Amino acid sequence: MTRINVAVAGASGYAGGEVLRLLLGHPDVTIGALTGGSNAGENFGRLQPHLVPLADRTLEATTPEVLAGHDVVFLGLPHGASAEVAAALGDDVVVIDCGADFRLTDPAAWERFYGSPHAGSWPYGMPELAAQRGQLRGAKRIAVPGCYPTVSTLTAAPAVAAGLVEPNLVVVAASGTSGAGKAAKTNLLGSEVMGNASAYGVGGVHRHTPEIIQNLNLLTEEKVRVSFTPLLVPMPRGILATVTGKLTGPLSTDEAYEVYSQAYADEPFVTVLPQGMWPQTKSVLGSNSVHLQVAVDEEAGQLIAVGAVDNLAKGTGGAAVQCMNLALGLDESAGLTTIGLAP
């Protein structure tokens, strides 16, 4: 087949770098323009030294001219910047946005959490959720889900869809630091984060909260409420999400496990672990896998599900490539792996 010519805008950041890491292993892709902002003009090998085959490239400026002529353009841009770049690209170009701009369908939710006008919404890049896969096939514009919403949604979904729990969930998710991006900030220095666990964005103020709720509302007629608490833990990659929900009736762990196993039986990238074995982020490092497990605490009257993803892989770049595959009618798994890098 003709090779697909792909550009990445924001190629020097973590999302862009991860998209490129995966595309370099994709059988059908040729890497076209690599663009960036303040460091445009620099040697790409110095910016992303792990991407050896691109070491001789130069980062170009993110302009319509540079991005023109590609079949697919991935955007790894700061919030608010995607709409203008996308508008300059033709309708025949597949544009896959790793940022938040087009994820939320509700303008009010967008404005409350982001404080800026709503740019609109695009097909949502989570094939495993309800009817999303169908909408991604042939799509020309795709919004890649946030990292926390990816794992939180997929960890909660079977219980919510099957009505095992009341739609009032407690999600606590421990994340590595790369989710916070590559911009230099004192609180993200290695000296600060190593040996340290902290909470942030507590009390319903984290911007990924409405996205989780939006996703779960597709699965039940009841109005879903979510208390979402993100934690920062000392590792570069990975999110471990715990979802706790009050049982709606008697339920055993075996029964819950069966619901989860059935829910994802046909999903290539979701693994419900052997019963009694709990997810760890290291098992999904660099992979497109989601690892899940569930238990019922009869004393507490709660169901607890735990999920692990690599925030940069399945949580961002892997989902982006998976969406490209669907959009172009390729094998959904092309260029992706279920195998993590451990230990």
Pick between residue 131 and residue 184 the one whose CB is nearest to a second copy: 184
Asked whether the beta carbons of 98 and 121 are under 8 A apart, the reply is: no
* Closest of 317, 321, 343, 316 to residue 332, by C-alpha: 321
Pick between residue 119 and residue 322 the one whose CB is nearest to a second copy: 322
Pick between residue 196 and residue 262 the one whose CB is nearest to a second copy: 196
Structure tokens at 42: 């620099």
β-bridge pairing 168-175 and 239-246: antiparallel
Residue 242 neighbours by CB distance under 10 Å:
17
Least distance from a second copy to the Cβ atom of residue 224, Å = 10
Least distance from a second copy to the Cβ atom of residue 200, Å = 6
Pick between residue 64 and residue 204 the one whose CB is nearest to a second copy: 204
Say if residue 239 is exposed, middle or buried (CB neighbours under 10 Å; 0-12, 13-18, 19+): buried
Least distance from a second copy to the Cβ atom of residue 227, Å = 4
Residue 151 neighbours by CB distance under 10 Å:
34
**Residue in the block written with tokens 């770098």:** 17
Q: Which residues are catalytic?
A: 147
What span, in angstroms and rounded, lies between the C-alpha atoms of 342 and 249?
Answer: 39
Pick between residue 94 and residue 159 the one whose CB is nearest to a second copy: 159
Asked whether the beta carbons of 311 and 338 are under 8 A apart, the reply is: no
Least distance from a second copy to the Cβ atom of residue 212, Å = 11
φ, ψ at 66 (rounded to 5°) = -65, -35
First-to-last C-alpha distance (Å) of the chain: 37
Least distance from a second copy to the Cβ atom of residue 285, Å = 7
